[in-house]
Structure 1
Amino acid sequence: MRASKRDELVQKALEIFYREGFHATGMDLLAAETGISKTTMFKHFRTKEDLILAVLRLRDENFRNWLLRRMEQAGAPRDQLLAMFDALAEWFAEPKFRSCMFIKAASEYPDPSHPIHAHAAEHKRLLFLQLERIAADAGAREPAELARALLLLKEGAIVTAHFGHEADPAGDAKAAAAILIAEALQTRSA
């Protein structure tokens, strides 16, 4: 199996794990849906958990790059912070939306010292750092505080969208974020 086949396996496994969950997805299902034998999978990944980590690395890279690009398109840093919620609305509207893969990973592997849980936590930490940088560029006096609040709104919107009982969780979160951002920027100029 060439490197591109390995990448293909990781991409297909990402779709399956995202749809079915980590524990519910066995190697037999992965083999059946990817068309790649278990023997071949184990040539590239010693364990299912190694494959899950590769999947999480790919999802992390893809998601953060997509989100940051969508935010940067908004222009000014303040607008970028709000654009995060517009991007979330697009994601939530996708027919294949199944919540956050990293929330799922941390839930299915609850021990903080487990590599899968740790990788999920790292994804959230990296998002926080990106938001903190943008908040600082926007002029927030306490960029870390604003980033934490916006990340909480983001995560809450994801969970709410997953449950599907609210019409516009991203819009609701964006409205709350606008208030927090205005307050954080006003405090600086006072």
Structure 2
Amino acid sequence: MSDKRQLVLETALTLFRAHGYHAVGIDRVLAESGVAKMTMYKYFPSKNALIEAVLNERDLRFRRSLLEFVNEVDDPREKIRALFLWHHCWFKEDSFNGCMFINAVAEFPEIDSSIRQASINHKALIQDFIGSILNQVLATEISQRLSAQFSQLLDGATIAAQVAGDRMAAFLAWRSAVGLLLLEGVQIELGNSFESS
């Protein structure tokens, strides 16, 4: 990947995450990256193309970080807990400003928007990943249903952490997840790992 392209991408990702998509113009991305306009348009022919590239990059980083965190434990039940604990740690980061994909859909709500589609794709991949973990302790049909419910719990927790500053939002979502698992015959202790993280 070109150094100039990567520089524009990194700068845009940082700015969009902190300030939103409409609030950040191309001129600001250029000014803060130090890349010439012609060079930027060589790699990103429009602002929407840049936003899509940023979302694709964020998707890769998000899923890689989540996967690495979850794979630090071997017990499938602990992997389920790790999904929520990862979010708990993310909510506490100084750079946390909500989900870039939820924010993107809020700013680009058009049904046929490619930016909206990139966000939908990301959420589908995360739900599939959650399902693959649940499938280690539950039947496939149940895993699919619970993965949708867990995805909604985590998205809700993300919004609560962003809007209300609820630092324990992921733990509250985890409490709900434990209850859903118990209904399916899977018992997991709540644990105190959230308090120490």
Q: Is the structural similarity TM-score above 0.5?
A: yes
Check whether the contact 1:71–1:83 (CA below 8 A) recurs between aligned residues. Answer: yes
**1:104 aligned residue:** 103
The amino acid of 1:152's aligned partner reads Q
**2:85 aligned residue:** 86
**1:57 aligned residue:** 56
Check whether the contact 2:88–2:167 (CA below 8 A) recurs between aligned residues. Answer: no
Check whether the contact 1:82–1:177 (CA below 8 A) recurs between aligned residues. Answer: no
Deviation at 1:53, TM superposition (A): 0.8
Residue 117, structure 1, aligned to residue 95, structure 2: no
Residue 38, structure 1, aligned to residue 37, structure 2: yes
**2:154 aligned residue:** 154
**1:12 aligned residue:** 11
Q: Structure 1: any 5+ residue segments left out of the alignment? A: none
Going from structure 1 to structure 2, the CA distance change for 1:108 and 1:168 (only over 3 Å counts) comes to same
**2:66 aligned residue:** 67
Deviation at 1:185, TM superposition (A): 3.9
Report the Cα distance in structure 1 between the residues aligned to 2:96 and 2:159, rounded to whole angstroms.
11
Check whether the contact 1:139–1:185 (CA below 8 A) recurs between aligned residues. Answer: no
Deviation at 1:155, TM superposition (A): 0.3
The amino acid of 2:85's aligned partner reads D
Check whether the contact 2:8–2:30 (CA below 8 A) recurs between aligned residues. Answer: no
What SS does the aligned partner of 1:142 have? helix
Check whether the contact 1:76–1:138 (CA below 8 A) recurs between aligned residues. Answer: no
**2:193 aligned residue:** none
Deviations along 1:82-130, one digit per CA (max 9) or x if unpaired, are 1111111110110110000000111111012110000000000011111
Deviation at 1:165, TM superposition (A): 4.5
Which one has the bigger helix percentage?
A: 1
**Further displaced range: 19-28 or 161-170:** 161-170
**2:143 aligned residue:** 143
RMSD, matched Cα: 1.6
TM-score (norm 2): 0.89
Calculate percent identity across the aligned residue pairs: 32
The list of structure 1 runs, each at least 4 consecutive aligned residues, that deviate by more than 3 angstroms after superposition, is none
Q: Structure 2: any 5+ residue segments left out of the alignment? A: 188-197
